């Protein structure tokens, strides 16, 4: 800690000690004396009522006292400090009972000053009567799960895969790195060779993040015939589109022969659709940041300005704040356990995080030229805590990257220019390799 920091702590401690002494001496004095029922005063303005000051995606500290009471006066500089230091993280407001006596009923005040702690949703968490030091208030916030003094995260990273990826390149999906099953392979013929994808869905993800002209692409796509395992032009396929009862995700089975499709439909259900309808279905739900096709079951839910959208990965979900300029709420699942993580943003910062221990994994990969780049949407994620992240990294030996805070993940998106946002997650600006 630097010298100024130490001096500041000493000063605060002295103020706190003086305040306690003063508060004791004034037991029957001006500090705890509430304005009488007949006290003259103005009506409480609407903006000072609890529902207006709290529940704005930020926790709030409301201090209620009077300009004349001594402990209230001692609170004033502390509140100013907190207001400045925790801007964007905590709403700090002093309310003066001598001007608005009605506040005592509005907030149920018995003693001056009273500090009331609210969570980001506006729920009262705690209240304290009398002088309250800065350290004690910060400690109380921490106890309540809101840590404004959060230390730097420990370093946790993996720079080289724990296991060499020896899978034959032909068996790995170009888009998601997943294994390609023999019945769902989709291919795209390009000038540079054949792109292999694990499923029609990964084809549509690739389609939606290609920036080149895509009109000719359709003629170069092939799907695997579910019945024979042979490739066929996608445009001629009859597709069975069903929802997996366990995951809720669509299952797409492609057939060259309508009879085979009908036979499969009889035994396992699903609706029979052509390539064009499948394309409409698959491209209907997009990431609100990068425009990739997503299945809602796999995506983070993002609320922005009263509208719902999706994040194809947790980092993209935060990117919606950058793209729209709005305060957003992200509901994402821990990649290991599936437990819910809720992030609310305000003015481009993290306003609240549930659970408070949640962290992010920034998937990074060393490029052939030796520099590092993002490993992409399939390799990012949120975790309810560092332990879950470590377990997930252990279970996924090919993943490389590092631990970052969710604030850092948001900050990385907020600093992008509109041009960079437009290019985000796009496959270069050229044809697939
Ligand atoms: Zn894939
Ligand atoms: Zn995305």
| Mean pLDDT of the region 25-31 | 40
* DSSP secondary structure letters along 236-284: G-EEEEEE-TTT--EEEEEESSHHHHHHHHHHH--EEEEHHHHHHHHHS
pLDDT, position 6 = 58
**Strands 91-96 and 60-65: what pairing?**
parallel
**Distances in whole angstroms, Cα of residue 43 to Cα of each of 88, 105, 172, 238:** 29, 12, 69, 71
Ligand found nearest the CA of 298: 2
Chain-centroid distance of CA 280 in Å reads: 28
| Mean pLDDT of the region 20-38 | 45
* DSSP secondary structure letters along 93-105: EEEETTT-TTHHH
For the ranges 77-86, 121-130, 210-219, the lowest mean pLDDT is seen at 210-219
Q: Which CATH architecture has domain 3-143?
A: 3-Layer(aba) Sandwich (3.40)
What CATH number was assigned to the domain covering residues 290-423? 3.30.450.410
Distance CA 51, CA 360 (A): 32
Task: Give me the half-sphere count of Cα atoms (radius 13 Å) on the Cβ side of residue 64.
Answer: 30
Cβ atoms of residues 225 and 256 within 8 Å: yes
| Mean pLDDT of the region 220-240 | 95
Catalytic residue list: 69, 72
Among residues 323, 331, 315, 327, the alpha carbon closest in space to that of 377 is found at: 315
**Cα-to-centroid distance, 203 and ligand 1 (Å):** 8
Question: pLDDT tens digits, residue range 355-411?
Answer: 999 999 999 988 888 888 888 899 999 999 999 999 999 999 999 999 999 988 998
Ligand found nearest the CA of 323: 2
pLDDT, position 429 = 37
List the chain domain ranges. Answer: 3-143, 169-283, 290-423
Ligand found nearest the CA of 204: 1
Q: Tokens in use for 196? A: 């292999």
- Residues in CB range of 356: below 8 A, 6 or more apart: 145, 146, 147
**Cα-to-centroid distance, 244 and ligand 2 (Å):** 23
For the ranges 55-59, 168-172, 249-253, 311-315, the lowest mean pLDDT is seen at 55-59
**Cα-to-centroid distance, 48 and ligand 1 (Å):** 53
**Cα-to-centroid distance, 299 and ligand 2 (Å):** 9
**Cα-to-centroid distance, 354 and ligand 2 (Å):** 22
């Amino acid at each position: 800690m630097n010298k100024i920091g130490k001096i500041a702590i000493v000063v605060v401690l002295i103020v706190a000690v003086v305040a306690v002494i003063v508060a004791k001496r004034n037991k029957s004095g001006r500090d705890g004396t509430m304005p009488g029922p007949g006290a003259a005063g103005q009506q409480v303005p609407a903006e000072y009522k609890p529902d207006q000051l709290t529940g704005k995606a930020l926790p709030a500290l409301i201090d209620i006292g009077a300009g004349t009471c001594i402990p209230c006066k001692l609170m004033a500089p502390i509140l100013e400090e907190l207001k400045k230091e925790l801007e964007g993280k905590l709403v700090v407001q002093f309310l003066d009972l001598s001007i608005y006596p009605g506040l005592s009923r509005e907030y149920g005040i018995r003693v001056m000053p009273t500090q009331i702690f609210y969570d980001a949703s506006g729920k009262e968490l705690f209240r304290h009567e009398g002088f309250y030091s800065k350290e004690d208030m910060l400690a109380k916030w921490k106890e309540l799960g809101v840590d404004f003094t959060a230390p730097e995260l420990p370093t946790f990273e993996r720079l080289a895969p724990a296991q060499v990826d020896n899978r034959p390149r032909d068996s790995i999906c170009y888009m998601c790195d997943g294994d390609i099953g023999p019945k769902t392979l989709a291919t795209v013929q390009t000038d540079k060779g054949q792109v292999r994808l694990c499923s029609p869905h990964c084809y549509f993800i690739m389609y939606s993040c290609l920036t080149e002209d895509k009109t000719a692409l359709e003629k170069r796509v092939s799907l695997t015939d579910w019945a024979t395992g042979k490739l066929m032009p996608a445009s001629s396929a009859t597709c069975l589109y069903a929802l997996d009862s366990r995951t809720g995700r669509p299952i797409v089975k492609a057939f060259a022969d309508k009879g085979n499709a009908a036979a499969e439909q009889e035994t396992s259900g699903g609706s029979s659709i052509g390539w064009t309808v499948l394309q409409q279905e698959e491209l209907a739900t997009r990431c609100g940041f990068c425009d990739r096709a997503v299945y809602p079951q796999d995506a983070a839910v993002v609320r922005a300005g009263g509208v719902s959208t999706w994040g194809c990965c947790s980092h993209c979900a935060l990117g919606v704040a950058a793209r729209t300029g709005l305060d957003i709420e992200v509901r994402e699942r821990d990649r290991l356990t599936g437990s819910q993580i809720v992030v609310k943003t305000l003015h481009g910062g993290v306003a609240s995080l549930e659970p408070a221990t949640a962290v992010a994994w920034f998937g990074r990969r060393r490029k052939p030229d030796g520099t590092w780049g993002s490993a992409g949407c399939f390799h990012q994620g949120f975790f309810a805590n560092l332990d879950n992240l470590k377990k997930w990294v252990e279970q996924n030996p090919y993943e490389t990257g590092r631990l970052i805070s969710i604030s850092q993940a948001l900050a990385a998106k907020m600093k992008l220019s509109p041009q960079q946002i437009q290019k985000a997650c796009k496959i270069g600006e050229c044809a697939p390799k």
